[in-house]
Chain A
Amino acid sequence: MSSVSGADMTLFYDQLGRMTIGLGILVLAAQAPPSIYLRWAVGFYLLGIFLLILVIFFGVKVKGSQRWLDFYGLFRFQPSELVKITVPMGLAWYLQNKQIPLRSKHVWISLILVILPVSLIYAQPDLGTSILVAGAGLSVLFLAGISWRWILSASAFVAITLPLFWAFAMTGNQKQRVVTLLSGPEADPLGTGWNIMQSTTAIGSGGLLGKGLGKGTQSHLDFLPEAQTDFIIAVIAEEFGLIGVSVLLALYIAVLARALYLAVTSESTFVRLFGGALSMTFFFYFGVNIAMVSGLLPVVGVPLPLISYGGSSVVTLLLCFGMIMSMRFHKAW
């Protein structure tokens, strides 16, 4: 499923290799009891921050973004992937023993613990990952019982500061994507609108039943950009139609439901918060990806979990699943 470009089998074997590594990691992670995660939570969190800072100084630039650490040419590693796990881990550790309702001091500290890595990732720049990390962190806060008053005032604050964010913090490229979303892709069909025009065309032309496996003209004739990676849902929609998309959405929801259930039925507060946040990370992945490809959100560069071609996200996600499984195996803990 990972490779739709039938002609190029190397992509398929690449991805198969990554899946295998990811499954190995999943099995290992599932074996370890959650107590280990709790014990190492602070260390992991700090390690994540440390690596993000390293990226600033020693990171490798690819396509204008400085996201990677290169270990003497042996392998490349994207610390922000790790941070998707360490941030909810650290936050869950911090909030596990706090009184409910949370006190303002704890909320503020939690926010700092989230905003610090998010800003570092955002500055790389990597909007997609920073959104996922922020989502994971805020999920922990939400599950930990942050009061509705806090949520409302925070929302109001965000709404007010949004214009400032637009004016000072966003790059031209990011702004352009938002403009494209708001004005419709037809406004600039060969420029920034090209991707969304082609992906919605792929999706729409698939119809109810799709054009059939391997018969998607949009993807096979190269009209669809990033067909193997971020925009793969458009290929699925084109070839398998609304039926195929519905099946996929149902599967995602089922996985999400199961993961959330495993998390909240745990006896440990840390596991409930951490597992819940990991489950939500999975949701943010597919929610943001599908919304962006179908033109509901700006294009931010989030892959479709477990389906898109690419290494980092597969390994991260399978690690998450392994951790959630470990919570099930060691439920009594």
Chain B
Amino acid sequence: MRSSVTIKNIEVEKALVSSRASILFAVACLFVLALFGRFFQLQVIEHEVFSLRSDENRIRVAPLTPPRGLIFDRNGRLLAENVTASSLGVIPEKVGSLEATVQDLKGLLNLKESDLESFAKNLQRPRTPGESVEIIDSLSDRQLAILAVNRHIKKGLEVSSRLVRNYPLAELTAHAVGSVRRITQNDLRTLEKNRYRGTRFVGRRGVEAFYEDRLMGQVGFQTIETDAHGRIKKVIDKQQAVVGKDLHMYLDAELQVAAYNALGNFRGAVVAIEPETGGILAMVSKPGYDPNTFVTGFSETEFEEIKNSVSKPFFNRAAEGQYAPGSTFKPIVGLGGISFGLMDWDTIIDDRGTFSLPGRDRVYRDWAWTPKNPGGQGKVDLRRAIYRSSNIYFYDVASRMDIGRLAKFTEQFGYGKKLISDFPSVVTGLVPNEEWKLNSRAEKWYQGDSVNLGIGQGDLLVTPVQVAYLAATIANRGELVDLRMVKSTPKSASVDAREYSDIRSRQVTGLTPLDWERMAEAMEDVVHLGGQGYGNNGTAWAYIGQNIPYRMAGKSGTAQVVEISQGEEYDEDVLSEFERKHAWFMAFAPTHDPKIALAVLVENGGGGSSVAGPIARKIIDSYLVKDLYADKSEYSARFQSGPADLL
């Protein structure tokens, strides 16, 4: 197969191939030169840009979330702790079909639509390939078990864990301890952004909210080198997080549980105070809610359901509920009358069951009035007026008082003020006076308003905290202490000064120690004066005054919710549940060495002595007489077995 071309042609052809090869080589050289140019551009001219980009690629500043401070009760029982929660992420690049995987998970783990929605949102966020996208932020034990069993779908799934808040006593301490809530877009506007990087929750209620700054601790940061999948390869620099500080509350968890249980199925509130320190021993509002749900998550409908429920579980009745105080206000009116010199302890009034202002038609009645029996407590002095809760006595005293003076006197007891210095509540209640009425109603103050005020009705509004504070103030014989949720800890510069102000004490003015002693004794008669025959016993004696191993001072109150017109009878049966009277009972014990002062409010409960009284007695019993009940040990066992069993 020799070539058929001539010698000359071979030479020509050889030259041609050489020249063509030279052209190809020249082209190759030019191309390589272009490549060199490109690398010169990337590596020399734009080197800085790419160097930075390479560092940004791998170096991240990641927040180190400090564990939130723990919250203990006065006996060291945990009220708020941190537990490990697992979240489930999906790595879209690693699962075969994202859609199929999500559907699998949905069926297997019983995912809610809301989970899928938030997953879709998370998917939209920028991320590097191989980084996982969260689908469930808190796996239940059941879900974890299901995942462990179903290994076949494990590819591309990532379970990671972190610390979240847990409230062992759940609804029992919900309103006092408060809770953390998920940080929302709204929160981010007010929160220090850097500090909350890496934290999903912020204290939003109760002590959790007030002490947020202290509980939160100080976020740390670490500069880390990560690979393309977000895995940490090297820690370049680290600034440790400062663990949140623990809180020790005055709260007594056992008392809190006792109070919660004593309220039974009523809507209502209990506030108990340690008179000596002003520490809050118990704060219950019922119905409660499980604060752990704020951590594990509500569905939209669940949340709306609770929020809009007529029984308002999120509403802290103890600190923020405002009610007419009813007869629990009478001690203030009585002490006011003494201090103003309107009467003394021996002044006697003839109580015939009705009271009218001179020259007026309107008849004010005794609480015992019925159309057939006008009631009336007979000859009453202040002591009898308290233990029999004579309306007529206080109508008379109040009608003779200057309203401005009474209002000022009342405010000394903390009415119309926010009382607990370390609790997030803006509710103050209302002490009406002439100025207030003119401003809000454009009406002048009538003497009839004073008459109503005498028995704690009308425009006066108080919170259970304030009523408990009244009990504590009488227990302290007029000494006013600051109310606090959390015990002071050693001073530290970074913390709110209010927390560490020493327990300041002031005194209610215008009264002698003997006046206080007499009021305490009158209130003791409310509970203990019995066996005197019909119409002469303390109002609460029949309900709580028997077989009582300690001395207790109390005062009941029954607050009208709807106005009953003249001559009409208050008939519980024809009123709907929400129109019935609120029942109050305030008390402290032991009378001469008070260890506890409290207020019980039962919404629409009816009679103060008959409904709220026994609840108060139960609570105080549990606090003072630890061995009173035979089933005490059983009670303790149940306490230890967890809150669920207590309900």
* Known contacts A142-B20, A204-B51, A260-B25, A218 near B57 by CB under 8 Å: yes
List chain A residues, Cβ under 8 A from B21: 143, 260, 263-264, 276
Q: Does A173 contact B (CB under 8 A)?
A: no
Q: Does A206 contact B (CB under 8 A)?
A: yes
List chain A residues, Cβ under 8 A from B31: 283, 287, 291
- Residue ID in chain B nearest A189 by CB atoms: B126
Q: Does B32 contact A (CB under 8 A)?
A: yes
Summarize B's interface: helix, strand, loop or mixed: helix
List chain B residues, Cβ under 8 A from A256: 25, 28
- Residue ID in chain A nearest B130 by CB atoms: A222
Q: Mark B1-35, 1 if CB is under 8 A from A, else 0.
A: 10111000110111011101101110011011011
Q: How far is the CA of A99 from the CA of B6 in the complex (A)?
A: 10
* Known contacts A207-B51, A269-B13, A287 near B3 by CB under 8 Å: no
Which of B36-44, B394-402, B502-510 touches A?
A: B36-44
Q: Does A4 contact B (CB under 8 A)?
A: no
Q: How far is the CA of A38 from the CA of B128 in the complex (A)?
A: 54
CB distance from A106 to the nearest CB of B (A): 14
Q: Does A252 contact B (CB under 8 A)?
A: yes
Q: How far is the CA of A223 from the CA of B50 in the complex (A)?
A: 13
Taking a contact as CB atoms under 8 Å apart, the answer to whether B129 and A194 are in contact is yes
Q: How far is the CA of A168 from the CA of B353 in the complex (A)?
A: 104
Q: Mark A123-167, 1 if CB is under 8 A from B, else 0.
A: 000000000000000010011110000000000000000000000
Which of A51-59, A238-246, A322-330 touches B?
A: A238-246
- Residue ID in chain A nearest B127 by CB atoms: A190
Taking a contact as CB atoms under 8 Å apart, the answer to whether B44 and A207 are in contact is yes
Q: Does B146 contact A (CB under 8 A)?
A: no
Cβ-defined partner of A205 (8 Å) among B5, B9, B25, B53: B53
Taking a contact as CB atoms under 8 Å apart, the answer to whether A145 and B39 are in contact is no
Taking a contact as CB atoms under 8 Å apart, the answer to whether A206 and B58 are in contact is no
Q: Does B154 contact A (CB under 8 A)?
A: no
Q: How far is the CA of A144 from the CA of B17 in the complex (A)?
A: 7
- Interface residue total, chain B, C-beta cutoff 8 A: 51
Q: How far is the CA of A237 from the CA of B49 in the complex (A)?
A: 16
Q: How far is the CA of A99 from the CA of B42 in the complex (A)?
A: 48
List chain A residues, Cβ under 8 A from B46: 204
Q: How far is the CA of A142 from the CA of B21 in the complex (A)?
A: 9
* Known contacts A200-B42, A263-B21, A272-B17, A221 near B49 by CB under 8 Å: no
Q: Does B638 contact A (CB under 8 A)?
A: no
Q: Does A9 contact B (CB under 8 A)?
A: no
Q: Mark B43-83, 1 if CB is under 8 A from A, else 0.
A: 11011011101110110000000000000000000000000
List chain A residues, Cβ under 8 A from B228: 221-223
- Residue ID in chain B nearest A282 by CB atoms: B28
Taking a contact as CB atoms under 8 Å apart, the answer to whether A296 and B38 are in contact is yes
Q: How far is the CA of A280 from the CA of B21 in the complex (A)?
A: 9
Cβ-defined partner of B227 (8 Å) among A38, A222, A242, A276: A222
List chain B residues, Cβ under 8 A from A237: 39, 42-43
- Residue ID in chain B nearest A283 by CB atoms: B28
Q: Does B277 contact A (CB under 8 A)?
A: no
Taking a contact as CB atoms under 8 Å apart, the answer to whether A38 and B38 are in contact is no
* Known contacts A217-B57, A283-B28, A290-B35, A272 near B14 by CB under 8 Å: yes
Taking a contact as CB atoms under 8 Å apart, the answer to whether A143 and B226 are in contact is no
Q: How far is the CA of A86 from the CA of B145 in the complex (A)?
A: 60
* Known contacts A145-B16, A205-B54, A221-B227, A190 near B128 by CB under 8 Å: yes
In chain A between 250 and 300, which residues have their CB closer than 8 angstroms to a CB of chain B? 252-253, 256-257, 260, 263-264, 269, 272-273, 276, 280, 283, 287, 290-291, 294-296
Q: How far is the CA of A245 from the CA of B18 in the complex (A)?
A: 29
- Residue ID in chain A nearest B10 by CB atoms: A269
Q: Does B229 contact A (CB under 8 A)?
A: yes
Q: Does B366 contact A (CB under 8 A)?
A: no
Q: Mark A165-206, 1 if CB is under 8 A from B, else 0.
A: 000000000000000000000000010001000101111111
Cβ-defined partner of B24 (8 Å) among A96, A242, A280, A294: A280
Q: How far is the CA of A202 from the CA of B226 in the complex (A)?
A: 16
Q: How far is the CA of A295 from the CA of B40 in the complex (A)?
A: 13
Taking a contact as CB atoms under 8 Å apart, the answer to whether B24 and A253 are in contact is no
List chain B residues, Cβ under 8 A from A241: 43
Q: Does A100 contact B (CB under 8 A)?
A: yes
Taking a contact as CB atoms under 8 Å apart, the answer to whether A253 and B57 are in contact is no
* Known contacts A100-B12, A145-B13, A269-B3, A222 near B229 by CB under 8 Å: yes
Q: Does B225 contact A (CB under 8 A)?
A: yes
Q: How far is the CA of A280 from the CA of B4 in the complex (A)?
A: 27
Q: Does A249 contact B (CB under 8 A)?
A: yes
In chain A between 93 and 118, which residues have their CB closer than 8 angstroms to a CB of chain B? 96-97, 99-100
Q: Does B233 contact A (CB under 8 A)?
A: yes
List chain B residues, Cβ under 8 A from A264: 14, 17-18, 21
List chain A residues, Cβ under 8 A from B17: 143-145, 264, 269, 272-273, 276
List chain B residues, Cβ under 8 A from A145: 13, 16-17, 20
Q: Does A11 contact B (CB under 8 A)?
A: no
Q: Does A208 contact B (CB under 8 A)?
A: yes
Q: How far is the CA of A81 from the CA of B600 in the complex (A)?
A: 91
Q: How far is the CA of A70 from the CA of B132 in the complex (A)?
A: 37
Q: How far is the CA of A228 from the CA of B1 in the complex (A)?
A: 46
CB distance from A71 to the nearest CB of B (A): 30
Q: How far is the CA of A287 from the CA of B32 in the complex (A)?
A: 7
CB distance from A285 to the nearest CB of B (A): 12
Interface centre among B29, B39, B43, by most A CB within 10 Å? B43
List chain B residues, Cβ under 8 A from A206: 43
- Residue ID in chain A nearest B17 by CB atoms: A272
In chain A between 18 and 49, which residues have their CB closer than 8 angstroms to a CB of chain B? 38
Q: Mark B125-140, 1 if CB is under 8 A from A, else 0.
A: 0111110000000000
In chain B between 596 and 641, which residues have their CB closer than 8 angstroms to a CB of chain A? none
Taking a contact as CB atoms under 8 Å apart, the answer to whether B57 and A223 are in contact is yes
Taking a contact as CB atoms under 8 Å apart, the answer to whether A276 and B24 are in contact is yes
Q: How far is the CA of A260 from the CA of B207 in the complex (A)?
A: 84
List chain A residues, Cβ under 8 A from B3: 96-97, 269
Taking a contact as CB atoms under 8 Å apart, the answer to whether B25 and A242 are in contact is no
List chain A residues, Cβ under 8 A from B129: 190, 194
Q: Mark B74-102, 1 if CB is under 8 A from A, else 0.
A: 00000000000000000000000000000
CB distance from B27 to the nearest CB of A (A): 9
- Residue ID in chain A nearest B50 by CB atoms: A204
List chain A residues, Cβ under 8 A from B49: 204
Q: How far is the CA of A217 from the CA of B51 in the complex (A)?
A: 11
Listed A/B pairs (13) with beta-carbon separation below 8 Å: A204-B43, A205-B47, A207-B43, A223-B57, A223-B227, A237-B39, A249-B32, A253-B29, A256-B25, A263-B21, A269-B17, A294-B42, A296-B38
Further pairs besides A200-B50, A222-B227, A260-B24: 17, Cβ < 8 Å: A100-B9, A100-B16, A142-B23, A190-B127, A201-B54, A203-B50, A204-B53, A205-B53, A208-B47, A218-B57, A237-B42, A242-B40, A242-B44, A260-B21, A269-B10, A283-B24, A294-B35
The 9 closest A-B pairs by CB, nearest first: A204-B50, A205-B54, A221-B227, A222-B228, A204-B42, A242-B43, A223-B228, A205-B50, A207-B47
B contact set with A: CB distance below 8 Å: 1, 3-5, 9-10, 12-14, 16-18, 20-21, 23-25, 28-29, 31-32, 34-36, 38-40, 42-44, 46-47, 49-51, 53-55, 57-58, 126-130, 225-229, 233
